[in-house]
Amino acid sequence: MTIAELCIFASVMLYLVTIVPAKWISVDGAGRYDNARPRDPAFYVGGIRERALGAHQNGIEAFPFFATAVLLAEFRGAPQNLINELSVLFVIVRVAYILTYVGDRPSLRSILWAIGFLITVGIFFLPWLRVYLPA
pTM over the 0.85 mark: yes
Inform me whether the pLDDT recorded for 131 exceeds 90: no
Question: What is the model's pLDDT at position 30?
Answer: 53
Residue type, 25: I
Distance CA 62, CA 91 (A): 11
Question: What is the model's pLDDT at position 99?
Answer: 96
- The structural domains of the chain, ordered by start, are 3-129 (1.20.120.550)
Question: What is the model's pLDDT at position 106?
Answer: 96
**Opening angle at CA 99, ends 73 and 126, nearest 5:** 10
* Side-chain half-sphere exposure of 14, counting CA atoms within 13 A: 25
Question: What is the model's pLDDT at position 84?
Answer: 98
Q: What is the mean pLDDT of residues 51-71?
A: 96
Q: How buried is 107 (Cβ within 10 angstroms: 0-12 exposed, 13-18 middle, 19+ buried)?
A: exposed
Q: How many CB atoms lie within 10 A of CB 64?
A: 9
**Residues of the chain above pLDDT 70, percent:** 92
Say if CB 54 and CB 101 are below 8 A apart.
Answer: yes
What is the tens place of the pLDDT at every residue in 88-100? 999 999 999 999 9
Inform me whether the pLDDT recorded for 107 exceeds 70: yes
Higher-scoring residue by pLDDT: 41, 14? 14
Q: How many CB atoms lie within 10 A of CB 51?
A: 22
